[in-house]
Amino acid sequence: MFNPPVIAVVDDDEDIRDALSDLLFAMGYTCHVFDRAEAFLAADAAGRFDCLITDIRMPGIGGLELLDRLKAAGSTMPVIVVTSMTDPVTRRRGLEGGAHAYLTKPVTDDTLLQSLRTALPGWEIPRSDEEGPSGS
């Protein structure tokens, strides 16, 4: 029986949150969306999420500060950054801050799913050309 990883998505853009959660649900994964990093931090009980997908530029706590807070708390949860920011300094800060991957919007389904496969090596992550575990 397939026991999917639980993925959190943090992005202030509702369209991006919806697109990411739709893709993840279609592939059979459990997904929780948050419009702000503060809401994610309030909900992040130890071990509740297996992976985080976050934007960088958001009101309040941004993605880089979120990475810093998770790292300071000792989190080992893989984080995938999906952002429109192409600045190499920001990219370097994200990766050095603990991001597993730094992807630039727009991101293809294949690119995101490949990043999930490498971020969650112990999990079965289907390719986008496969039918999801829920028969989607």
pLDDT number for residue 45:
63
> In this model, does residue 42 exceed pLDDT 50?
yes
pLDDT number for residue 28:
80
Domains, the chain, ordered by start: 6-119 (3.40.50.2300)
Average pLDDT over residues 86-107: 95
Cα dihedral 40, 99, 22, 120 sign: negative
Q: What is the pTM of this model?
A: 0.88
Q: Which of 98, 83, 88 is nearest to 11 (CA)?
A: 83
Within 13 A of 17's CA, how many CA atoms are on the CB side? 14
Measured between alpha carbons, how far is 20 from 116 in angstroms, rounded to an integer? 12
Element (H, E) at 103: strand 101-104
Please report, as a single letter, which amino acid is at residue 53.
Answer: I
Q: Of 24-28, 80-84, 107-111, which range is least confident?
A: 24-28
> In this model, does residue 20 exceed pLDDT 50?
yes
